Amino acid sequence: MMTEASAADHPLDQCREPFQAELVRNLAAEVAANFGGDLSRMRRANGYSNATWVGDGIAVRIAHTPVDMSREAALVRRLPQAVGHPEVLGDGRLRGHGWIVTSEVPGDNLQEVWSELTADKQKEAIAGLWDRARAVHQATPSLRELVATHGGFMPASLEAAGSLAGRVAREVPLSGIEEARLRDILEEFFHAAPQVPPVVNHGDLALMNALWDDGVVSLLDFEFSVLGPVEIDLSRLVYEARWSEQDGMKDSDASAAALEIALREMDPTHGRSLILGAAVLDQLRDVGIWLTRDSTDDAVEGWRPDRLLTDLLSTEGGYLSPVL
């Protein structure tokens, strides 16, 4: 039988109140049992916004907070087969916490095996990740009614983005030039966004949200899907390929592949404003989370989205510099 750390001391729960982590684990165990699973035989999968366990032929995702997941369940049921998303077996709410159960798909979390892949395989993985995302983009006509124009790191308006930026500016030391640059980038993004055809973006196109089995076989976790410029997903693809908390900025075959995709797929007129704005909004969200961190939490050690943000505000454009 597989043994697992208790909910109170699991690494993915170190930043959470022990009683809350234990509650979510108990709810997940109840849901799993209803689908023939035993949580004690299932492994905890990567991910932060929801808790996920995989094994016994199923995967159970449950919200850490009392939120509904029915919209995401409806969306993934309609995704084209090319996305590779596991079949949804059921969804609902248990004591307020949304849950989704899918079939178990063979494969490893791409982020967990990334460092073990050869340079060629990493390049292949970036291309495969984008292929799965493009399948979502191309299905926009049948999906758009299920997706909002804001959510995740995408605020509903320039005013909402400005409020977030103002909070960050009060907490993170930005120069006057950087603050002005931040305002300009956000204004340019919200000016350009209505001028390009919107697509359904995954919204969190990260390595941890894909499964690898000698190729990217599945794109997962659509809770942050959003209708907007394709540069939303492109900005995250470049980030994932070019940056790591362990190694910082890196030029590699995978990085080159992501940059090639971005330059090919960006809007020829507004693409640079959109990809930079999307990247800045992504880091603003992360800085907001980082500002609430517990300084003793090992999970945030080495994580400095404030530095990534200030790099993006420089004239070079940080990790996006090759496409800007």
pLDDT of residue 219: 98
Type of residue numbered 258: A
pLDDT in tens, 295-315: 545 445 567 888 899 999 999
pLDDT of residue 302: 64
Task: Say yes or no to pLDDT of 84 above 90.
Answer: yes
Share of the chain above pLDDT 90, in %: 79
Q: How confident is the model at residue 91 (pLDDT cuts 50, 70, 90)?
A: very high
pLDDT of residue 296: 45
Query: Distance (Å, rounded) from C-alpha 285 to C-alpha 221?
Result: 18
Coil, strand or helix at 9: coil
pLDDT of residue 9: 63
The mean pLDDT of 19-48, rounded to a whole number, is 94
Partners of 175 in the β-ladder: none
* Average per-residue pLDDT for the chain: 92
pLDDT in tens, 268-288: 999 999 999 999 999 999 898
**pTM to 2 decimals?**
0.92
The mean pLDDT of 131-158, rounded to a whole number, is 96
Tell me how far CA of residue 159 lies from CA of 3, 165, 183, 190, 195, in angstroms: 48, 10, 11, 10, 19
* Pair 253, 168: CB distance under 8 Å: no
Task: Say yes or no to pLDDT of 100 above 90.
Answer: yes
Task: Say yes or no to pLDDT of 32 above 90.
Answer: yes
